[in-house]
Chain A
């Protein structure tokens, strides 16, 4: 990318990002590589096996945050959590006890600048990450936070058009960029 759109973003200290109390991050290199490979695989309707253990209690917003805050920004060597593009308070989960019911995740993102042309790409990256990780009962809504972007409605419409998102996921160039963004996910 030739021109950096926001050259000086505000950066949060990674150690201060919201975590569940007592959670120790594992740094096992082997399993990391393995997970990356499985999570990047594009085979149809599969989602990661780790959700099996989550099935018991359902998902909460911290788990959704953990899934998407580690996505890399397309133009900075920083995560969406560090850039406060993704914030715990802007994630809403409606998951029922009964796993045979339809559940919803609503993520509101805050681009670092209001004319960020990468907002759609970032939103798409979040959608793809969640579609791959969450069980099929989830309907995913990714929106720009109110007032955070000058083309809010346009970007929101595009990000939540099922057909456009599906087609975008068959675009190899785009998928390459997204895979790169998701490569930093735990």
Chain B
């Protein structure tokens, strides 16, 4: 397998922290410490919008397109502790809402698969779940989750279920499930421990499976999964009643070590490939065959000497990476 650079989107004047793709519309959004968000058409590679009206007074840290939205819509989380919501009307990006609630830096935002919920997390150790209305103007906080002991670095929703995975400075990733009886209640069903360092990012397998990949400061990339009831060894029956909500989640695999420095971004595509990137400038791609994970491609110095902060798949053979050089690089992944 080979990776080749096919385009560089440049324009940010400072670190680019986060990118997202609206797959249905072929749009790319990138956010930066320069406090702007740039939106590109991926097909024409043209810049189609710049959100730079000083809505945020500090770094824009995280950006996500709203899925199943009638018009293109974005959520942006900022170090200024707020989240902004934007919609494209005619040819303009319009600020629809500013969501306040976190005490300090918002580190990550993500929409649930159907766009009904928005999750956000912060250095204040909490995760907030917001319910969005159709117009993107009203957001109601339905739950504040305070399970982590330290900063929550990342939140990511399952691609088809109301299940949320969070990762933290407390060296754990946790999984939350919507309660069967009270849909405003989010129950912690997994606390994945054993990592030696901050977990920076996670992404779900693109299927109905409950399996995710995460990456950490100790330069490792790991896969975690919920054990299926058949393979459970009967320990469930002996759990005290208060722990009944706990499911059994286990470390499924530690991917072959490629990185030598903190790994900041990880992404799983619908074809089963996992990509990771980080401080060492490497972009790595892994593939699973018969339960074994292999490294199938490594790109060195993918943003020159700059660190990589984020990786996203546009489609099964196109990757996008964001770097401290302010650039977004587009990569063609060819099977050979």
Interface residues in chain A, defined as those with a beta carbon under 8 Å from any beta carbon in chain B: 44-45, 100-102, 135-137, 139, 157, 161-164, 166-167, 170
Give the complex CA separation of A96 and B219 in angstroms: 22
Q: Of A101, A135, A161, which contacts B169 at CB under 8 A?
A: A161
Residue on A with the closest CB to B153? Answer: A163
Chain A min CB distance to B200 (Å): 8
Known A137-B305, A139-B261: A44·B34 in contact at CB below 8 Å:
yes
Kindly identify, within residues 55 to 71 of chain B, every residue whose CB is under 8 Å from any CB belonging to chain A: 58-59, 61
Considering only CB atoms, which chain A residue lies closest to B304 in the complex? A100
- Chain B neighbourhood of A100, CB < 8 A: 301, 304-305
| Interface pair A166/B59, CB less than 8 Å apart | yes
Query: 10 closest A-B pairs (Cβ-Cβ)?
Result: A137-B305, A44-B14, A170-B58, A167-B105, A167-B79, A44-B13, A102-B305, A136-B305, A170-B79, A102-B281
* B binding-site residues for A, Cβ under 8 Å: 13-15, 33-34, 58-59, 61, 79, 104-105, 107, 123, 151, 153, 169, 197-198, 217, 261-262, 264, 279-281, 301, 304-307, 324-326
- Complex Cα spacing A139 to B197, Å: 18
* Total A-B contacts with CB atoms under 8 angstroms apart: 54
Would you give the shortest CB distance from A31 to chain B, in whole angstroms? 28
Given contacts A44-B34, A161-B198, A102 and B59 within 8 Å (CB-CB): no
Chain A residues with CB under 8 A of B151: 164
Taking CB atoms, residues of chain A closer than 8 Å to B198 are: 157, 161
Cβ distance B221 to chain A, nearest Cβ, rounded Å: 18
Q: How far, in angstroms, from A164 to B123 measured CA to CA in the complex?
A: 9
Return chain A residues, CB-CB under 8 Å to B217: 161
Q: How far is the CA of A100 from the CA of B300 in the complex (A)?
A: 11
B107 and A163: CB pair below 8 A? yes
Which of A100, A136, A157, A162 has the largest count of B CB atoms less than 10 A from its CB?
A: A162
CB distance from A104 to the nearest CB of B (A): 9
A101 CA / B281 CA spacing, docked (Å): 10
Name A139's contact: one of B61, B279, B304 (CB within 8 Å).
Answer: B279
Residues of B within 8 A of A101 (CB): 301, 305
C-alpha gap A43/B198 in the complex (Å):
29
A136 to B325, CA, bound (A): 9
Q: Which residue of A lies closest to B35 (CB)?
A: A170
Taking each of A100, A101, A102, A139, which has the highest tally of chain B beta carbons within 10 Å of its own beta carbon? A102
